[in-house]
Each structure stands twice: as structure tokens, then as C-alpha cells.
């Protein structure tokens, strides 16, 4: 009597599941994002450790006609371009009435942020102050106005300088400090010129 052996059909391996198009797109976008972040950080690391922004203008007036607008922080509302960005900005004055020791703190909307100023040096040739930003990004800088004779007038130079923080370097990948602050410096100096020459 013969025995018939039945062969079992071989099980074929399941075909590999195809990755959905959505997942592929998301992974690609994530990879591009990581690459972009890496490029930004790499470029930011090449930015200098310090920065300086300055602008100058010639005012047809002696220093004694100019410095009162700088030494009295309450008068900054008449010429500083940042003062008009937020009409509801809160201002607080303390310390000396003017000159060394005069302090000014502000707290405004996202256009102006929050910070404080203190005059550290005041002479007929120079008014220097510390500048601390609290919002939107914390940093400490220094700034000054220097005045030198030029022709029949006075050359006024407004400068701000300090250390580049890591976040500052990242921001400067897209926008330089000069382009962010330079136009406002020009506008402020023009306002000071008009006030000093009017008096």
C-alpha cells in the first residue's frame, strides 16, 4: 500500500510595506529643517564677538547747545525715534535730574520692549550711558554721543557697542545690527540737529 505525501504550499514572504507619501514628505521636511538649523548655527558661529553701530551728523551749533538734549533723559521724548513707537509706553525716571546718575526705564509693547538707561559720563565733549534691554531679548550694551569741532559746527557721533550674545549672532544671520539700528540713529541725530540749531 503506497502512501501519498501531500506537499504543503510554501508561504511567500509578505511584500515590504510601502512608506506612505505623507510620511516621506514629513521626514524630508524634517531633514531639511535640521539642515537649515545647522547652517544657521554654523554661520552664526562666524559672527564677531563684539559689535559697534555708529552714525554721525554735523550740527551748526556749539556742544553746549547739544548736550542739554542728551543729559536730560526727559527730553529724549523730543528726539528719540523709539519714543514714538508706542504712545502708551510706561516711563520711569529716577536718580539725578540730568547728567551722571540720571536713570530712565521704559516698558512698552513688542515694538519697543523694555529696558533701562543710566548716564555714566557727561562732559561737553561726551555723554556716555549704559543700556540694558530686558525685553524682547536680554542684553547689556554701552552707548555714547561724542562731539568734536568740524568747520563752523560740531560733529555729533552716536555709537552703540557691546558683546554679541549667542542669540544676537543668530539674529544677525538674517539682519545686521547696523541695518536694525542705523536708520533710527540717523533719524535721532537729525532731530537733535533741528532742536540744537533752532535754539
How far apart CA 192 and CA 153 sit, in angstroms, is 13
Q: What is the pLDDT of residue 104?
A: 96
Q: What is the pLDDT of residue 39?
A: 66
Q: What is the pLDDT of residue 190?
A: 96
Grid coordinates given for 137: 531679548
Q: What is the pLDDT of residue 6?
A: 56
In 3-state terms, what secondary structure has residue 189?
A: helix
Q: What is the pLDDT of residue 59?
A: 96
Could you tell me the residue ranges of all domains in the chain? 51-198
How far apart CA 105 and CA 117 sit, in angstroms, is 6
Q: What is the DSSP string of 19-87?
A: PPHHHHHHHHHHHHHHHHHHHHHHHHTTS-SEEEEEEEEEESS-HHHHHHHHH-GGGGGGT-GGGGS-T
Q: What is the pLDDT of residue 122?
A: 96
Q: What is the mean pLDDT of each run of 10 residues along the chain (199 residues)?
A: 54 61 77 70 63 92 94 94 89 94 94 93 95 86 94 94 70 64 91 91
Q: What is the pLDDT of residue 175?
A: 62
Q: Cα-flanking dihedrals φ and ψ of residue 28, to 5°?
A: -65, -45
User: How far lies 61's CA from each of 89, 148, 149, 186, 195, in Å?
Assistant: 32, 11, 10, 18, 10
Q: What is the pLDDT of residue 150?
A: 92
The structural architecture, per CATH, of the domain 51-198 is 2-Layer Sandwich (3.30)
Amino acid at each position: 500500500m503506497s502512501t501519498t505525501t501531500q506537499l504543503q504550499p510554501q508561504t511567500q514572504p509578505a511584500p515590504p510595506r510601502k512608506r506612505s507619501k505623507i510620511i516621506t514628505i514629513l521626514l524630508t521636511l524634517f531633514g531639511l529643517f535640521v539642515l537649515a538649523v545647522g547652517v544657521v548655527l554654523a554661520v552664526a558661529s562666524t559672527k564677531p564677538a563684539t559689535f559697534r553701530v555708529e552714525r554721525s551728523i554735523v550740527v551748526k551749533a556749539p556742544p553746549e547747545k547739544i548736550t542739554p538734549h542728551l543729559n536730560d533723559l526727559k527730553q529724549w521724548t523730543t528726539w528719540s525715534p523709539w519714543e514714538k513707537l508706542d504712545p502708551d509706553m510706561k516711563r520711569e525716571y529716577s536718580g539725578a535730574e540730568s547728567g551722571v546718575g540720571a536713570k530712565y526705564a521704559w516698558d512698552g509693547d513688542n515694538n519697543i520692549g523694555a529696558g533701562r538707561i543710566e548716564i555714566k559720563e557727561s562732559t561737553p565733549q561726551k555723554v556716555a550711558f549704559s543700556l540694558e534691554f530686558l525685553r524682547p531679548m536680554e542684553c547689556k550694551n554701552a552707548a555714547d554721543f561724542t562731539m568734536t569741532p568740524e568747520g563752523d559746527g560740531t560733529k555729533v557721533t552716536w555709537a552703540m557697542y557691546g558683546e554679541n550674545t549667542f542669540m544676537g549672532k543668530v539674529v544677525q544671520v538674517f539682519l545686521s545690527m547696523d541695518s536694525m539700528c542705523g536708520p533710527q540713529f540717523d533719524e535721532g541725530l537729525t532731530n537733535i540737529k533741528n532742536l540744537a540749531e533752532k535754539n
